[in-house]
Chains A and B, each alone.
Chain A
Amino acid sequence: MPFGVIQTNTITMKKALILLIVACFCTTAFAQSKKNTKTTDISIPGYCCKGLNATIENTLAYERGVVEWTLHQDKKSVTVVYKEGKTTPEKIEKALAANGVRTANEKPNPRAIEKLPKCCQPAARGEASCGKM
């Protein structure tokens, strides 16, 4: 039969739904202890303009184990404080590369490069260096 009658207790359903929502949205509350943190400097040779800041910050913000970071636009690098055991500098570099950011050791994902601001794209491809900004 194409359309069958499905009988469901609505109240139970609603309860289940609410529980599910609560479960889904409460996973963020993990404590951030400053213990066991390490600091690494990641070089970003393709850094050309401020437009790349958002990509770098958005990547680091969603990276597990990353505690905080400081961008050095003049030195074309980012200093990342991370929790040892949760992530490694290699993992962080890989994550940046996956979002189109060229680092010292990782080549960026070509599809992600297209989503970068125009000024950063040639450098991310490794084609040319960019002018002073």
Chain B
Amino acid sequence: MIQRGDKVEQWRKEKTIITFCGLIFLVAFVCASSSALSQVTGRVVDSGSGEPLVGVGLQWEGTSAGTMSSAEGHFSLPRHERSHRLVVRYAGYQSDTIIIHSDTSFVLNLHSQAQRLKKVAVRGRRKLSFNKMTSLEQTEVITTEGLRGLACCNLGESFQNSTTVDVGYSDAVSGSKQIQLLGLTGVYSQMLLENTPFLRGLSAPFGLGYVPGQWMESISVSKGVATVKNGYEAITGTINIEYEKPNKGDRFSLNLYENSDLKSEVTARVNHRFNEHLATGLLLYGAYDTKRTDHIGHDGFMDYPLQRQFNAINRWHYENGKGFVSQTLVNYTHEERLGGDMRFEKPMRGNDSIYGFGGTTDRIHFFTKNGFRLSNTASFGSQVAGTWFRQDAFYGLSDYHGEEKDLYVNLLVNAEVSGGHIVDYGLSFRYSDVSEDLYYIPYLGYVGQVSFADGDNYSYREVLPGIFGQFTFRYGDDFNATLGLRYDYSVPPSKRFQTMFAYYANDDFESHALTPRFHFRWNVWHDWILRGSVGRGFRTPNLIAENFGVLASGRKIVQSEWIRREEAWNGGLNMSKSFKISDDREATLTIDYYHTRFVNQAVVDFDVAPDEVHFGNLDGESYSSVLQADFSIEPFEGFTASVAGKISDVRCTYHGILMRKPYTSFWKGLLVLSYHTRFDKWRFDLTTQLNGPQRLPLNKGAVQGETSPYVYMLGQITRKFKHFELYAGVENITGYVQEHPVVGYDAPFSQAFDASIVYAPLMGRLYYIGLRFNIL
């Protein structure tokens, strides 16, 4: 009873404070506006991010008179003769009551329980994925609901219902997956964990496997250049992942998974709240896969490497209820992989008769984000993120050792200025120490540079302070635009760190990077929304880590010049529209076109000779043009169908000839069907992908030139019970696989060997079952 009394007391206190703030606002605005308004008008925004809130309910207390905020958060309602108390309610936010005694106009800051964090799972309206209609950038959000319909062991498998992101294997022995956005490899997009950079540098190649599917609350994919707030990378887009929050998550959740290749996975999540201010969470994941299979090609090589992974996160959330929010997360990952010949065991490393692949990775990643309100219209935020990464790997006779230490600091201020426009500005700093040592013997009898570790090390140290600012212009509900600019200065390295990269050598070092970026959103006509973006981006390539596949071949690495920093421009247009079919069902249509053009690129050329790979700088044109259309409809309750198509034209100049970029589908089609019965007791998901032809580079295999298109299907049935749910599914239903992914498997230590030519699935039909259990 005492506790409840306290709560009531506190609630009253909060109410008083809120009312007080409201009054101050009122006084301020009444003073500011001399003209007499007949209405109460204003705008509702998120107190943390300043983003407008759409569909917020405003109602005069004790009456039925009210309104909802429109797009961009604006509202307008006549005053009520009997009530002066305006009640503001919005799902996921603290309700607010404002006393209004005169005509007025104001901006209302609503407090989210976890500030700045988007709650994506929309209750009542269950969507698998949706396009954010109100955001400036074109954003596709994959929700928890969407992820539930896929086995999605990890991030790499979470994009199967998305046309925007393509996922492919880097080679046939390591099991490493790489994503493509706008036809270009994932490294040109930026991976964010709750809006802080992660999985960059050396973590990128295997990184998708370090993010367990069951930890994720949502994935947001934005196409085109990002705003300048998170650095000069993010040329083709941004993928932002949200993990479960300790202050919101269930007390305990468990997921068990087992597939027909005997891969087992356990995911557990525990959250504890000490009080209303402080909460902590523990996310655990373990995967164990010890069955060797050779169904594909019957070539004596494992289809997929044996894998063991342990992954843990501890995170803390603190908020004082007065606008200060602090979040800290520490992640430790350990992974071991073993692949290659079916007979290979770990102690055989260095053996020149049985081919093996192995890798051990240890990674620690942390971030801490702290934010508080400076005033009712301004907030300050700081982000500090760091990674320590070490990988020891071998491909046949070649040894690789990679190590990375990375620290990132970002300080930013967000403020609303007069007229409702928004200003963001801040400072950033990055320190990266990356070393890649390669002891390189692609085949027996190889003559050439064996060790890349001495002298011409594939290593660099990057010290990168930066400054940025952006202005968001708003014109009513229907138009807003953001112009941002950032400047980054690369501190020239000392002689000790001279490397093969010209970028880091003192004589030809590019210190300055100026990154302009522009975005707009325009409600053209009746919610037909046009968005556009254009901007420049830079990137430092990590040659070996980003081209691991090369090591799984007898190809000889040829590099005749220093590699410079990569630079590109990206621009695009997007049109989207939502159609209401009934009160709670709708259809959405999205069409977009994006173009990326490189000024400089680290070009990896496989087409000079079938047993060589050439690293060099771009000499000529390199571009990517992608046209995509998505249509999604819920024709009757519980059933959703999405159709999507994409055409890509990605070309790059290889030794003077403009050619299609290898391993990029010319076109792609997708059909996603999902049906759930009432109360979600049964759920059926079926995804069909149509993958178009790809160009293969010169190789020694049987398949040359263009590959043939193929169909990939997956399906899952989920049955929900009172306290748990069971799921069972099939991946690769049609069983289409690449017939001989390991070229020259009978002579793995010769120049004929090549396991880097992968264009189709490497796993046949796969069955799985699983169980999810949680305590609220």
Q: Hey, which bits of chain A sit against chain B, CB under 8 A?
A: 1-6, 8, 10, 13-14, 17-18, 20-21, 24-25, 28, 51, 54, 57-58, 61-64, 98-99, 109, 111-112, 114-115, 117-119, 121-122, 125-127, 131-132
User: Interface digits, B699-726 against A, CB 8 Å rule (1 contact, 0 not)?
Assistant: 0000000000000000001011110001
| Minimum distance in angstroms from A77 CB to a CB of chain B | 20
Among B61, B90, B250, B767, the residue within 8 A (CB) of A118 is B90
Please, how many angstroms separate the alpha-carbon atoms of A65 and B160 in the complex? Answer: 39
Evaluate contact between A132 and B123: CB separation under 8 angstroms.
Answer: no
Please, how many angstroms separate the alpha-carbon atoms of A112 and B775 in the complex? Answer: 10
Residues of B within 8 A of A126 (CB): 4
User: Interface digits, B613-651 against A, CB 8 Å rule (1 contact, 0 not)?
Assistant: 000000000000000000000000000000000000000
Evaluate contact between A5 and B292: CB separation under 8 angstroms.
Answer: yes
Among B59, B90, B124, the residue within 8 A (CB) of A54 is B124
Among A3, A10, A132, the residue within 8 A (CB) of B260 is A10
Evaluate contact between A3 and B338: CB separation under 8 angstroms.
Answer: yes
Does B512 lie at the interface of the complex (its beta carbon under 8 Å from any beta carbon of A)? no
CB contact list, B724-771 vs A, under 8 A: 726, 728, 767, 769
Please, how many angstroms separate the alpha-carbon atoms of A10 and B775 in the complex? Answer: 35
Does B525 lie at the interface of the complex (its beta carbon under 8 Å from any beta carbon of A)? no
Evaluate contact between A8 and B262: CB separation under 8 angstroms.
Answer: yes
Does B298 lie at the interface of the complex (its beta carbon under 8 Å from any beta carbon of A)? no
Evaluate contact between B769 and A132: CB separation under 8 angstroms.
Answer: no
Evaluate contact between B87 and A131: CB separation under 8 angstroms.
Answer: yes
| Minimum distance in angstroms from A48 CB to a CB of chain B | 10
Please, how many angstroms separate the alpha-carbon atoms of A112 and B123 in the complex? Answer: 14
In the complex, residue of chain B having the shortest beta-carbon distance to the beta carbon of A60: B679
Residues of B within 8 A of A99 (CB): 776
Evaluate contact between A54 and B123: CB separation under 8 angstroms.
Answer: yes
CB contact list, B57-106 vs A, under 8 A: 59, 61-64, 87, 89-93, 95
Does B8 lie at the interface of the complex (its beta carbon under 8 Å from any beta carbon of A)? yes
Among B59, B64, B346, B678, the residue within 8 A (CB) of A3 is B346
Q: By the criterion of a CB under 8 Å from any partner CB, how many residues of chain B are at the interface?
A: 47
| Minimum distance in angstroms from B98 CB to a CB of chain A | 15
Residues of A within 8 A of B373 (CB): none
Are A51 and B124 also in contact (CB < 8 A) when A6-B291, A8-B262, A17-B260 are?
Answer: yes
In the complex, residue of chain B having the shortest beta-carbon distance to the beta carbon of A62: B722
Does B173 lie at the interface of the complex (its beta carbon under 8 Å from any beta carbon of A)? no
Among A20, A25, A114, A125, the residue within 8 A (CB) of B7 is A125
Evaluate contact between B91 and A111: CB separation under 8 angstroms.
Answer: no
In the complex, residue of chain A having the shortest beta-carbon distance to the beta carbon of B771: A24
Evaluate contact between B62 and A131: CB separation under 8 angstroms.
Answer: yes
Does B336 lie at the interface of the complex (its beta carbon under 8 Å from any beta carbon of A)? yes
Evaluate contact between A61 and B719: CB separation under 8 angstroms.
Answer: no
Are A8 and B767 also in contact (CB < 8 A) when A118-B89, A127-B11, A132-B62 are?
Answer: no
Please, how many angstroms separate the alpha-carbon atoms of A122 and B87 in the complex? Answer: 13
Please, how many angstroms separate the alpha-carbon atoms of A18 and B59 in the complex? Answer: 55
Please, how many angstroms separate the alpha-carbon atoms of A87 and B124 in the complex? Answer: 28
Please, how many angstroms separate the alpha-carbon atoms of A125 and B91 in the complex? Answer: 17
| Minimum distance in angstroms from B593 CB to a CB of chain A | 39
Residues of B within 8 A of A58 (CB): 679-680
Are A118 and B93 also in contact (CB < 8 A) when A98-B776, A132-B64 are?
Answer: yes
| Minimum distance in angstroms from B560 CB to a CB of chain A | 40
| Minimum distance in angstroms from B258 CB to a CB of chain A | 9
| Minimum distance in angstroms from B392 CB to a CB of chain A | 15
Residues of B within 8 A of A2 (CB): 308, 336, 338, 346
In the complex, residue of chain B having the shortest beta-carbon distance to the beta carbon of A117: B91
Are A61 and B726 also in contact (CB < 8 A) when A4-B290, A127-B11 are?
Answer: no
In the complex, residue of chain B having the shortest beta-carbon distance to the beta carbon of A107: B4
Evaluate contact between A24 and B291: CB separation under 8 angstroms.
Answer: no
- Listed A/B pairs (10) with beta-carbon separation below 8 Å: A6-B291, A10-B260, A20-B769, A28-B681, A54-B123, A109-B776, A119-B89, A127-B11, A131-B63, A132-B64
Tell me the number of A-to-B contacts counted with CB atoms below 8 Å: 94
Please, how many angstroms separate the alpha-carbon atoms of A87 and B552 in the complex? Answer: 63
Residues of A within 8 A of B93 (CB): 118
| Minimum distance in angstroms from A86 CB to a CB of chain B | 13
Please, how many angstroms separate the alpha-carbon atoms of A122 and B64 in the complex? Answer: 19
Does B345 lie at the interface of the complex (its beta carbon under 8 Å from any beta carbon of A)? yes
Evaluate contact between A24 and B306: CB separation under 8 angstroms.
Answer: no
Residues of A within 8 A of B336 (CB): 2
Evaluate contact between B290 and A3: CB separation under 8 angstroms.
Answer: yes
Residues of B within 8 A of A10 (CB): 260
| Minimum distance in angstroms from B555 CB to a CB of chain A | 28
Evaluate contact between B4 and A111: CB separation under 8 angstroms.
Answer: no
| Minimum distance in angstroms from B767 CB to a CB of chain A | 5
Are A14 and B679 also in contact (CB < 8 A) when A3-B338, A4-B290, A131-B61 are?
Answer: no
Does B251 lie at the interface of the complex (its beta carbon under 8 Å from any beta carbon of A)? yes
Evaluate contact between A1 and B345: CB separation under 8 angstroms.
Answer: yes
Please, how many angstroms separate the alpha-carbon atoms of A122 and B717 in the complex? Answer: 37
Residues of B within 8 A of A3 (CB): 290, 306, 338, 345-346
Please, how many angstroms separate the alpha-carbon atoms of A115 and B249 in the complex? Answer: 10
CB contact list, B246-274 vs A, under 8 A: 248, 250-251, 260, 262
In the complex, residue of chain B having the shortest beta-carbon distance to the beta carbon of A18: B767
User: Interface digits, B104-126 against A, CB 8 Å rule (1 contact, 0 not)?
Assistant: 00000000010000000001100
* A-B contact sample (6 more), CB < 8 A, given A61-B681, A131-B63: A2-B308, A54-B123, A62-B721, A115-B776, A118-B89, A119-B95
Residues of B within 8 A of A98 (CB): 776
Pick from A2, A6, A109 the residue with the most CB of B within 10 Å. A2
Residues of B within 8 A of A28 (CB): 681, 719
Query: Which 5 residue pairs are nearest across A and B when measured between Cβ atoms?
Result: A61-B679, A62-B722, A21-B728, A3-B306, A118-B89
Residues of B within 8 A of A57 (CB): 679
Please, how many angstroms separate the alpha-carbon atoms of A111 and B276 in the complex? Answer: 11
Evaluate contact between B11 and A14: CB separation under 8 angstroms.
Answer: no
Residues of B within 8 A of A8 (CB): 262, 291
Evaluate contact between A25 and B306: CB separation under 8 angstroms.
Answer: no
In the complex, residue of chain A having the shortest beta-carbon distance to the beta carbon of B258: A17
Evaluate contact between B7 and A6: CB separation under 8 angstroms.
Answer: no
Residues of B within 8 A of A115 (CB): 123, 776
Residues of A within 8 A of B251 (CB): 111
Please, how many angstroms separate the alpha-carbon atoms of A63 and B59 in the complex? Answer: 36
Please, how many angstroms separate the alpha-carbon atoms of A126 and B260 in the complex? Answer: 51
CB contact list, B229-257 vs A, under 8 A: 248, 250-251
| Minimum distance in angstroms from B638 CB to a CB of chain A | 14
In the complex, residue of chain B having the shortest beta-carbon distance to the beta carbon of A57: B679
Evaluate contact between A127 and B7: CB separation under 8 angstroms.
Answer: yes
| Minimum distance in angstroms from A27 CB to a CB of chain B | 9
Please, how many angstroms separate the alpha-carbon atoms of A125 and B720 in the complex? Answer: 28
Residues of B within 8 A of A121 (CB): 95
| Minimum distance in angstroms from A70 CB to a CB of chain B | 16
Please, how many angstroms separate the alpha-carbon atoms of A119 and B719 in the complex? Answer: 30
User: Interface digits, B444-486 against A, CB 8 Å rule (1 contact, 0 not)?
Assistant: 0000000000000000000000000000000000000000000
In the complex, residue of chain B having the shortest beta-carbon distance to the beta carbon of A20: B769
Residues of B within 8 A of A1 (CB): 345
In the complex, residue of chain A having the shortest beta-carbon distance to the beta carbon of B729: A21
Residues of A within 8 A of B308 (CB): 2
